[in-house]
Structure 1
Amino acid sequence: MNDFPWLSVLLVLPLLGAITVALLPRGRDALAKQTALGFAAATAVLGIVLAFRFDSGGPRFQFTQSTPWIEAFGVDFALGLDGVALTMVVLSVVLVPLVILASWRDAERSGGTGVPPKRSVKTYFALILALETMMIGVFAATDVFLFYVFFEAMLIPVYFIIGSYGGPQRSYAAVKFLLYSLFGGLVMLVSVLWLFPLSSRKVSEGGLGAATFSFEELSGMTIEPTTAKWLFLGFFLAFAIKAPLVPVHTWLPDLAQQAPPGALVLIVGVLDKVGTYGMLRFCLELFPGAAQWATPVVLGLAVLSIIYGAILAIGQVDLKRLVAYTSVSHFGFIVLGIFGMTYAGQSGAVLYMVNHGFSTAALFLLVGFLIVRRGSARIDAFGGVQKKAPVLAGLFLVAGLSGLSLPGLAPFVSEFMVLTGTFTQYRVAAVLAAVGIVLAAIYILWMYQRTMGGPATEQVSGLSDLSVREKVAVAPVIAVIVVLGFFPQPVLNVINPSVETTQTVLDRPGFRPQITGDVAENGARP
């Protein structure tokens, strides 16, 4: 399985596509789009093949490869996938070609905002492919320093996509995103570099073979409690900003309002998952004691995100800002499941990351199609769309219902697992979080009623239904939402072994919160 450098090829393929598209002659827009779509489709095929070759009963990290990079500091170019990382990589490679197909004309008209783009069409698609490389790298990295490099490198294509192809206030949104992310990244860098002397000290004590940034070796290292708390905070702050978690979430609504809808699919659907992925992978496994120490505060922030994000979503008049605030609420559920410290909650959280990726992708793609037709993202620019574009309205309804976790659609299972898993340990947090379900029904159904329901207004009298290209772009996402709503087990089979490993780390003496009362008496698994 490991003889062929699967992950290196998966990394290089979209990067090669980005370079190829960038080198095409200026003005060959159609060729640039076709080339980008071809490379993205090839990457998706390779990623799906990789998923089928993954052995859920095998070693935790598979398709591993490691090459010395900065030997003086024990840094390796080390790649590998466990079940959690695999699901995130597959989510990334599946969404990119669909985004390219849906964004066929975004670079020419800045996603329907009417603001002329600053750069060429080929640059837009080259940046999308470059971003794909960074997303694959950040999930595949098994060296902590390499993870940090990809974590920061993702900022570059996102900054230029927003700043060059966004709306009227794109420069403000791009700079705000960059400053928030850079601040979090710099704080995390301090923690990453702090790990080196700690691993070096273990070398002298005979604890490790060499000073290292290897995740697998560092996860077995005992760190003095006070030091572990500071290191945890450095990592957690960066991941909370990326997630985004209240109160460090304010960059997302501004970015969402200005960014092209296709780019938003990747930013909110995939890139932001790096935050919750990092919490589960690094915060919990490298610093389990500190994670337990911080759990009450983190759970409070998660519940605050769920309720605050949902309330603000209700009051939005811009479709993209509304969907952005729903994501703030949904990320609160994911963090709740991770720090609920239960097997069911963490499995549900990872499944929620996958389901939210597809659910949000569907919403942003369809919102993008609406914006292109009306030239506006304001909710009051629509009304009665279902009379003129029934297919668009029908798919929008399915995507919206998945956003409120309707039974039978993918997010329901994951949200149910998060709440039940959290309830076994933190009942108050779980009950308060359940309020978000009621609020979700309000903001989703009200959004649908205001945009799609009622008689067709004069503003949408000439609105056309989805084209074949647009149907092909959004249909696979809707199909996944429906299929995973009824059959989530194949994804859970891949996720669960990795979550069990995390639970093993958290089960170390002193790291597991005590369960009291009838929960413990009934033998519920924490």
Structure 2
Amino acid sequence: TGRYYASTKFMIYSIGGTLGMLLATQLIGYTTGTYEIAEIASRTGEWLSRSAADTAFLGISVGTVKALAFFGFFVAFAIKVPIWPFHTWLPDAHGEAPTAGSMLLAGIMLKLGAYGFLRLVVPFFPDVWVAKLPLIGVTWATAFAFLAMLGIVLGAFAAFGQNDIKRLVAYSSVNHMGFVGIGIAVYAMLYGTAYMAGNSAVSSASMVDAITATNGAVLQMFNHGLSSAGMFLLAGGLYHKTHTRDLSEYGGFWVKAPIFGGMFVFMSMSSLGLPGLNGFVSEFLVVRGAWPVFTWLTVISMVGLLFTGSYILKGIRAVLHGPFNLHWKDYRLEIERTEFVAVLVLGVFIFLTGLWPNWILETINASVTTLLNGIG
């Protein structure tokens, strides 16, 4: 069945990534002599500066240990974000998960991957991010930004092609988490550049870009948690009433469910990034910070926002507009009281963040500034 396939695929991806991360953790711990994150970060210069030919673990050279550890962390967290092309488990998992499961998956679990990049992969491997990949001649940070850009553009195309409402929202997560990926890539590029130059902090010339993009990435994590949780709550509530996720079977629901319709449009506009709502602030910060570092990738990502609008409007049109499907004339389609309260709570934070983002940005900025001033 679809649920068995989705759960099996989710387990394979998760366990595969986790095993790689476990190997990376053991390699780093053995090489540095500690598993304390702060200690490892403080010893980064010491163990990264060792000769690549030195034996570090079971006869494996330090250079190989570095490569294996970085790759293990990179793949594990790229799966969890998810970054394209490690995203294919997500639409299946969302499509078959219960409403509460989808809300937790999109609102919390995806952010763990981004946190892993910010807290572990960049501080532990600053030199790798600015090293050039063989054959293609671009840095790891640039390649990561490219994959994030593909997630934005292709995620929007994939969402537009869906007729399943939950899969549409799932692909929108790939689209929105792409902006988180670009922000992380800027952080990695400028952090790595400063490290290789022997500086203890990102240069003052690049500090504004680094802080802006990283602040935007972290804020986008928070904002996506609000918007996607609301969208999955509304989509799940609609499924429980109609027992179908097929957009072609909906239509004209605004007539019978005006409150649901208003909530659906509101959450859709939040996901779209309408000015005045939360999504606009974080995406603007990422674009502003990434522009001087990855100009062309940022331009293409902004073009991808046009396609984001396309799938959002497709969802609104399919559910709320058009002729009313008479099959549902005897069904209660209006939002339930408990659903309304939950969406209302999310809506308060969406409005608050859109109109006064500093209530949370000040906290985010303090942590980000500490990260960027603690190199080596």
The two structures have a TM-score, normalised by structure 2, of: 0.85
Name the amino acid aligned to 1:298: F
1:501 CA drift (Å): 2.0
* SS of equivalent residue, structure 1 residue 219: helix
Asked if the contact 2:278/2:351 (under 8 Å) is kept, the reply is yes
Counterpart CA distance in 1 for 2:229 and 2:30 is 42
> In 1, distance between residues paired with 2:153 and 2:321?
26
For the residue of structure 1 that corresponds to 2:293, the secondary structure is coil
SS in 1 for 2:105: helix
From 341, 346, 351, give the equivalent of 1:482: 351
Deviation, 1:380, is 1.0
Report SS of the residue matched to 2:82. coil
Q: Distance in 1 between matches of 2:258 and 2:114?
A: 36
User: AA paired with 2:115?
Assistant: Y
Matched residue SS, 1:385: coil
Partner of 2:53: none
Partner of 2:242: 374
- Partners of 1:455 and 1:479 in 2: CA distance: 32
Please say if 1:198 is aligned against 2:36: no
Given that residues 261 and 365 in structure 1 are in contact (C-alpha distance below 8 angstroms), is that contact kept between their aligned partners in structure 2?
A: yes
More off after superposition, 356-365 vs 339-348: 339-348
| Residues 193-250 of structure 1: per-residue CA shift (max 9 Å, x gap) | 01122222xxxxxxxxxxx211111111123263434322211110000111111111
Letter in 2 for 1:178: M
Task: State the distance in 2 between where 1:413 and 1:472 align.
Answer: 25
CA distance in 1, matches of 2:268, 2:67: 40
Which residue in the other structure is 2:198 paired with? Answer: none
SS where residue 395 of structure 1 aligns? helix
CA distance in 2, matches of 1:264, 1:430: 29
2:307 maps to: 439
CA distance in 2, matches of 1:391, 1:262: 21
What are the equivalent positions in structure 2 for 1:70-85 lying under 5 Å apart?
none
Residue equivalent to 1:515: none
Pairing partner for 1:316 from 145, 151, 162: 162
Counterpart residue type for residue 486 of structure 1: L
Offset of residue 291 of structure 1: 2.4
User: What is the match of residue 422 of structure 1?
Assistant: 290
Separation of aligned partners in 2, 1:363 and 1:251: 19
Aligned to 2:319: 451
**What are the Cα deviations for residues 385-437 of structure 1, in whole angstroms up to 9, with x where unaligned?**
11000000100000001111010110110000001100021101111111121
Aligned partners of 1:330, 1:459: CA distance in 2, in Å?
Answer: 34
For residue 466 of structure 1, what is the aligned residue in structure 2? 335
Give the letter for the 1:242 counterpart.
Answer: K
Q: Cα 1:384–1:463, aligned 2, differ >3 Å: closer, same or farther?
A: farther
CA contact (8 A) 2:249 2:325 kept: no
Q: CA deviation at 1:505?
A: 4.0
AA matched with 1:193: Q
The whole-number CA distance in structure 2 between the counterparts of 1:466 and 1:320 is 17
Q: Quickly say closer, same or farther: Cα 1:330–1:480, change in 2 above 3 A.
A: same
SS at match of 1:464: coil
Q: 1:347 aligns with which of 208, 211, 215?
A: 215
1:215 aligned to 2:44?
no
Q: How many residues align?
A: 329
8 Å CA contact retained: 2:142, 2:294: no
Cα drift, residue 464 of structure 1 = 3.0
Counterpart position of 1:17: none
Task: Report 1:502-521 matches (<5 A).
Answer: 502-505=371-374
Shift of 1:265: 0.5
Mapped contact 2:253–2:333 kept (Cα < 8 A): no
For the residues of structure 2 that align with 1:382 and 1:389, how far apart are their CA atoms?
12
Query: Counterparts of 1:418 and 1:446 in 2: how far apart (Å)?
Result: 26
Per the alignment, residue 82 of structure 2 pairs with 244
Cα distance change, pair 345–229 in 1 and its aligned pair in 2 (3 A): farther
Whether 2:174 is the aligned partner of 1:328: answer yes
Is this contact kept in 2: 1:384–1:454, CA < 8 A? yes
2-structure distance, mates of 1:416, 1:443: 20
Counterparts of residues 14-413 of structure 1 (less than 5 Å): 168-200=1-33, 212-221=34-43, 222=45, 223-224=47-48, 226=63, 227-293=65-131, 294-341=140-187, 342-413=210-281
8 Å contact 2:183–2:213 — kept in the other structure? yes
AA in 2 matched with 1:335: G
Whether the 8 Å CA contact 2:95–2:167 is kept in 1: the answer is yes
What is the deviation of 1:262?
A: 1.6
Shift of 1:183: 0.6
Higher RCO structure (Cα 8 Å, ≥6 apart): 2
Check conservation: 2:256, 2:334, Cα contact below 8 A: yes
User: Any gaps of 5 or more consecutive residues in structure 1?
Assistant: 1-167, 201-211, 509-526
2:32 counterpart letter in structure 1: S
Q: Partners in 2 of 1:395 and 1:419 — Cα distance? A: 28
Q: Distance in 2 between matches of 1:196 and 1:368?
A: 43
Paired amino acid for 2:158: L
Pairwise CA distance, 1:261: 1.7
TM-score, normalised relative to structure 1: 0.61
Q: Note if contact 1:334-1:350 (Cα within 8 Å) is conserved in structure 2.
A: yes
- The answer (yes or no) to whether the contact 1:265–1:364 under 8 Å persists in 2 is yes
Structure 2 counterpart SS, 1:290: helix
CA contact (8 A) 2:251 2:321 kept: yes
Structure 2: which 5+ residue stretches go unaligned? 50-62, 132-139, 188-209
Shift of 1:493: 0.8
- Contact kept? 1:229, 1:287, Cα under 8 Å: no
How far the C-alpha of 1:467 sits from its partner, in A, is: 2.2
Question: How far apart, CA to CA, are the structure 1 residues paired with 2:119 and 2:215?
Answer: 13
Give distance in 2, aligned partners of 1:236 and 1:313.
Answer: 26
> Could you tell me which amino acid in structure 2 is paired with residue 330 of structure 1?
H
